[in-house]
Amino acid sequence: MPGRAVAAWLALAAAGVLGAAIGWSGEVDEADAAPWTRAPSMSQRRSYIAAAQVGERIFTAGGMVGETGRPLATFTRFDARANEWTTLEPLPVATRAAAAAAIGDTVYVIGGTTPAGNTAAVYAYDGDWRRRTPLPEPRFNHSAVALAGKVYVLGGFLQGEERDDVFVYDPAADRWSRSTPLPRPNHAFDAVAFRGEIWVLGGRRGEKIQREVWILDPKTGAWRAGPAMPEPMELLGAATVGDEIHAVWESTYQIYHADTGKWSRGPRPLVTRHALQTFSVNGVLYTLGGCTTALRDSPVVERRRLRR
């Protein structure tokens, strides 16, 4: 075997061993099987948006644009079945880096940063905007997850440091309570409801981008370590699809398979972005907005039809 071929083979073998060690499944990338395509773009380029899903509709609230990070009050709805966007009544206050979640037909937009500074405000939308009881403390770069009729708000950033708080909102009582804090302070992560639990993926702590995954059992309030991602991610968008978790950040796309307990690689997005949002609707994965690696806010929406 020629020397160059031997070197290439050894490199591939080493990569395979390393992949197994860090949790890669070893499966062939899925780029050829189901690549990304473009969906209708948002009406305005935006990153750091808050977004939530109600059935086949995705609601996007606020965000920022431009080198100054100007907060936006834009509020829009994407109808995946009709494949079209509708502009709705704006947020009461322009807000960037908020979080959103939906209970029933109501979308909750929580925290973020406004022109006046960081906020604890909570707004509920079900055709009109209403103020609800604010968070116990302001937050931005946090995550919100709806599970079992409650909204969980996790981590985030405030006063120059990451936070470990977990707040739980009861919409029926319009009241906040506290749950068990994150095992470590974190921000710029994403969180999803998966198999009746909450999974926290990646993030940033200090100067380090995280690979770690933490899982909260809401029934016991106990955290445990989950299967670490092979590659670190921050400002990512994540969504669940059946027994899989799909996480997208810039050129990195990682898929967790519950049946094997392993991660695999997905196809590289067409436009690499961070601070984006990710959702699945009827077997199709969507990524919305974000900031490109050239640091330009983007209106781009991409979709990928997943194998069933």
- Which of the four pLDDT bands, split at 50, 70 and 90, describes residue 13? very low
Number of C-beta neighbours around residue 302 at 10 A: 21
286 alpha-carbon distance from chain centroid: 11
Instruction: Please determine, for residue 20, whether its predicted confidence score (pLDDT) is greater than 50.
Output: no
What spatial distance separates the first Cα and last Cα of the chain, rounded to whole Å?
41
Instruction: Please determine, for residue 288, whether its predicted confidence score (pLDDT) is greater than 70.
Output: yes
Radius of gyration of the chain (CA): 19
Query: pLDDT averaged over the chain?
Result: 91
pLDDT digits (tens, 9 = 90+) for 214-229: 999 999 999 999 999 9
> What local confidence, expressed as pLDDT, does residue 25 receive?
57
Average pLDDT over every residue of 259-268: 97
User: In this predicted structure, which of 5-14, 18-27, 242-251, 278-287 has the lowest mean pLDDT?
Assistant: 5-14
Nearest by Cα to 274 from 38, 97, 112, 32: 97
Domains of the chain (ranges; CATH) run 33-305 (2.120.10.80)
pLDDT digits (tens, 9 = 90+) for 92-135: 999 999 999 999 999 999 999 999 999 999 999 999 999 999 99
Nearest by Cα to 227 from 203, 261, 186: 261
Rounded distance between C-alpha atoms, residue 300 and residue 290, angstroms:
8
> What local confidence, expressed as pLDDT, does residue 67 receive?
86
Beta strand spans in 3-121 (E): 37-39, 50-54, 57-61, 64-65, 70-71, 75-79, 84-87, 99-103, 106-110, 113-114, 117-118
